[in-house]
Each structure stands twice: as structure tokens, then as C-alpha cells.
Amino acid sequence: MNSSPIGTPLNVIIVGAGLVGLATALALRRAGHHVEIYEKSSFSREVGAAVTCGPNATRILEGLGCDFGRMRAVEHTQTRYFGKDQADGDLSFVSRGSDLFEKFGAKFYLVHRVDLHTELKDRATSSVGIGESCILHLGSAVLSLDAESGTIGLGDGSYISGDIVIVADGINSSLRKFITPHTTPHPSGLAAFRTTIFFSLVNAENEPGLEWVRESKRALCLINDDDGRRNLTVYPCRGGEVLNVAGLHPRTPGAGGLEEEKGFGGHVSSPEDFLEAFKDFSARYKELIRLCPVDNVTLWPLLLFEELPTWIKGRACLVGDAAHAMFPMLGQGAAQGFEDAITLATLLPSTLSTSLSDAGKDQSDTINTRLRLFESLRKSRATEIQTLSNRIGRGLPVLKFEAEVEEMLYGYDAAGITRDALGGI
């Protein structure tokens, strides 16, 4: 892929075909560019649990033509807070978040990660839709990056050049080092169990201790211990047929044979280990954990990533977890990546090289100027949310979802703010 002449759509290289890489590809396709995605895996099997899409994420995804109905997403209508010691017959809860659509003009969805990934991939690569279909190269590991020339080196020894390279290769990014100095993340002393459970099992058990689950079919349920360093998160996805269950708890770094915590990733665990970590929670919560499939429980050590010095260099930039990996406490990891995607697409219209504001500059200068603007628009916000999300990893209380926090997270219109910024230059 060669560089484009002045006044034509850009040749865009995206490294990584996860949620954020595909969303960025789709956004830039719709902006009129030629987009090729390089992904080291082959997508041979479904992986992952569920993800929350708050109004700031939903607004972007629907604007890109994604359909939450096709994804069988469940509309989140309420967050229910329970106590860890509540007895079977106690269905009382504290509620928040039932008026998000009225406040922010977009809905909050609970969606299986695989369903969201499939939707983004289909929209990006389909022959139907706005713009030229993105080209997806699977089994194509990218080993090197020359940010100044926009050139990537592939595992087969070949090199590909483009007008811009967007690095979306995730929390364990192999290309981050070619853009910015980076310090190794450090263990937080926390880890999260993750699993999914078929809702039919909850109904089949017909146990009174599971009534709190059956009564929360469209709610996100949070069960905290006294200091908040252990909690269960339970919510539905896939049309209410599947429950996503996560259990955050303290653990000793390197315990359980997980010395490889220098990297981030899930490790095979078991319902028994999950139960042991929450053995002092009331019986009804342990009843749910017992329904976990024996072959579908993973344990994810949570690592603390510091703010990066920069996200950009030459013709290249970082997006998503490669730029701002964060704890899941605010449900904003994917959402911040989607904000990156729509900001880039708004800053890089197909007419970029002939725009009045960039007159007199060569293409390389124009692209770098827009990438600097991208960083100025995105870095401070994403870093603030990263810091707030990571509070529990630094021994601080989890941030409460008060109205001010909801407004900061969900009221943000990334595309609108970017258009306003362009109007001022």
C-alpha cells in the first residue's frame, strides 16, 4: 500500500482487529478512506465475555451504522446495588441509572463482546455501506513500525507503507515501543474472575436464593463487600439468555502460578477457585457461582498502567488499550477507544489534503498536525477516566456513580467536540 497523492483519500493501516481497531476502521471507511487491517490471530474461535456500552459509546456505534438489535444486546435500565450478606428472601436494593436515555439521548446496552466484535467486523468489511470495504488480513503479525515513514514490518519479512498507521493492538501492544517510551505496568494486587452462565440454568434451579437474579433481567447488579475491594458484577446479554459474571478480589501477585503477570491476559481457573475467593459472601451469591461452567472460568490479574508520555509520532498513533489501558470499574475501556475512533475519523476527512486549514503543507505535515490535535483532544480525557477507573488499584475507594460522574462519562459527544475544535483552526 503506497502513499496517496495530495487531494485523494488516505491509505490507512490499522494494526489490530479487536473492538477498537474495527471501530476505527469502520469510522475511517465511512470518512472516505482506503483501510487495511492487520491482525495476528485467525479468529478461529469465540473468546471473551460481555461489555457495557454506556450512552457515550452507544452514540458513536449507532452513528457508525451498528445495530444493537442484531447484537442481541440488552438495554440496561437500572443498576442494582446489593449487600454481600443479604439473605435469600431479601430482594431489597439501592437503584441508580434508570433515566440515562432521558438525560443523554442515547441508551445504555449490555452486549456480549463476541457479538459486538462480529457486528463491527461485518460493518467494516461488508460490500454494503458507506465507503470502500475495509480489507482484513488475518494471521498477519506486525513486528515493527517506522512511524516517520508510516511503514510496518510483517512476520513474513515483507513491509507495507501507508499514509497513516493506527496502532490498536491492545493492552499488550507490541508496537507501542516504536511510538513512545513506556514503563512496565505493575501488579495492583487485584484480579477478576470472569465467566458466563446460561440464564436457563438460573431458571432451572428454581432456588429461592437465585430470585434476586431472576428479578434483575435487565439490570446490572453489583454486590460489594465492606471496603469495595471485592465485588461481584452480574448482568445479562444475548437477549437475556446469558449472564455475564465477574468477581473482583485481592490476590498476591504471582500466586497460583501466575508469575507471567508482566503481561495481561486471562488464565484458566475454576468454579472452586471462584467460590473460595467469595466464601464469606451469603449463600445466594455462592449459589450463582456454582452454576459457572467448569470449562469457562478465567482469572485476569489487573495491572496498573501509567499515563504514556505521548500517543503519536510521525504518521502513527496509538488508540484504545494500547494508549490508555484501564480497570473495568467505570465500564469505559471500550468506550474510550470508540471515542478515539470517531475523533480520528472526524479529524481525517477524505478531503484532508485540500482543506483550507492545511493549505501550503505537505501531506506528512498535515497528517502529523491532525494527529497532534487528536492527542490534544483525547489524551487528557482518557487519562482522567483511566485514573478514576484505577483508583481501587491504588487503595482508594471505587468512584461512586453520582450525577456529576454520569454527566462527565455519558454526556460527552466526541464527534461534536472534535468538529468544534476544527472550526476553531
Domain shared by 238 and 365, yes or no = no
Domain shared by 165 and 228, yes or no = no
Classify residue 1: in a domain, yes or no.
no
Classify residue 96: in a domain, yes or no.
no
- Total tally of structural domains belonging to the chain: 2
Residue 354: what pLDDT? Answer: 46
Joined grid coordinates for residue 339: 471515542
Domain shared by 261 and 225, yes or no = yes
Tell me what the mean pLDDT of segment 408-414 comes to: 97
Joined grid coordinates for residue 401: 456513580
Residue 260: what pLDDT? Answer: 46
Domain of residue 203: give its range: 186-304
Q: Specify the CATH number for the domain of residue 194.
A: 3.30.9.30
Classify residue 83: in a domain, yes or no.
no
Joined grid coordinates for residue 170: 491492545
Residue 398: what pLDDT? Answer: 81
Q: Specify the CATH number for the domain of residue 114.
A: 3.50.50.60
Classify residue 410: in a domain, yes or no.
yes
Residue 193: what pLDDT? Answer: 96
Residue type, 237: C
Between the alpha carbon of residue 91 and those of residues 200, 213, 215, 320, 422, the distances in Å are 20, 10, 8, 38, 51
Classify residue 26: in a domain, yes or no.
yes
Sorted by sequence, the CB contacts under 8 Å of residue 331 that are 6+ apart come out as 51, 52, 54
Domain shared by 175 and 317, yes or no = yes
Q: Of 263, 282, 304, which marks where a domain is finished?
A: 304
Domain shared by 138 and 54, yes or no = yes
Domain shared by 152 and 49, yes or no = yes
Domain shared by 316 and 215, yes or no = no
Domain shared by 179 and 210, yes or no = no
Joined grid coordinates for residue 302: 489487573
Domain shared by 362 and 228, yes or no = no
Handedness of CA 161, 167, 173, 175 (dihedral sign): positive
Tell me what the mean pLDDT of segment 355-375 comes to: 75
Sorted by sequence, the CB contacts under 8 Å of residue 20 that are 6+ apart come out as 168, 319, 320, 321, 334, 337, 338, 340, 341
Q: Does residue 358 or residue 205 have the better pLDDT? A: 205
Domain shared by 194 and 331, yes or no = no
Do 245 and 195 contact (CB within 8 A), yes or no?
Answer: yes
Q: Has residue 68 got a pLDDT over 90? A: yes
Q: How many CB atoms lie within 10 A of CB 85?
A: 13
The predicted model scores a pTM of: 0.93
Q: Of 261, 288, 304, which marks where a domain is finished?
A: 304
Domain shared by 61 and 192, yes or no = no
Residue 259: what pLDDT? Answer: 41
Question: pLDDT for 193-203, tens place per residue?
Answer: 999 999 999 98
Question: pLDDT for 178-197, tens place per residue?
Answer: 999 877 898 999 999 999 99
**For residue 176, which of 28, 326, 312 has the smallest C-alpha distance?**
312
Question: pLDDT for 264-318, tens place per residue?
Answer: 667 899 999 999 999 999 999 999 999 999 999 999 999 999 999 999 999 999 9
Question: pLDDT for 75-123, tens place per residue?
Answer: 998 888 898 998 877 877 777 667 889 999 999 999 999 999 999 999 9
Do 392 and 228 contact (CB within 8 A), yes or no?
Answer: yes
Domain shared by 272 and 363, yes or no = no
Q: Of 239, 274, 304, which marks where a domain is finished?
A: 304
